[in-house]
Amino acid sequence: MNRLTLLTTKECHLCGRARADLDAVARATGEAWSEVDVADDAELAREYGDRLPVVLLDGKEHGYWDVDVERLKRDLGA
């Protein structure tokens, strides 16, 4: 299981940038990430649907709407 998860949905206009930021973090740290569409999970859609994209680190919310790349790399221990 990956330490990083990006919560998205099809209509998310900010998600493309978040994917690019997570790709940069992955290149810098070696940490893989996965993506979950909240439309496939009613509970996730209720919890996170109004603030996508959301980055989860070790299953906990690390940030939303944009990726704080430097903070994320630091919190990953890079």
DSSP β-bridge partners for residue 54 = 7, 64
pTM of the model: 0.93
pLDDT of residue 29: 95
For residue 47, CA distances in Å to 22, 39, 51, 54 come to 22, 11, 9, 11
Closest CA to 19 of 74, 69, 77, 75: 69
CA distance 29 to 48: 26
Task: Going residue by residue through the chain, which has 78 residues, state the pLDDT in tens, using 9 for 90 and above.
Answer: 789 999 999 989 999 999 999 999 999 999 999 999 999 999 999 999 899 999 999 999 999 999 999 999 999 985
How many domains, in total, are found in the chain? 1
Q: What is the pLDDT of residue 39?
A: 94
Angle, CA 65 vertex, CA 51 and CA 45 arms, to 5°: 30
Backbone angles phi, psi at 36, to 5 degrees: -130, 130
Domain range spanning residue 25? 4-75
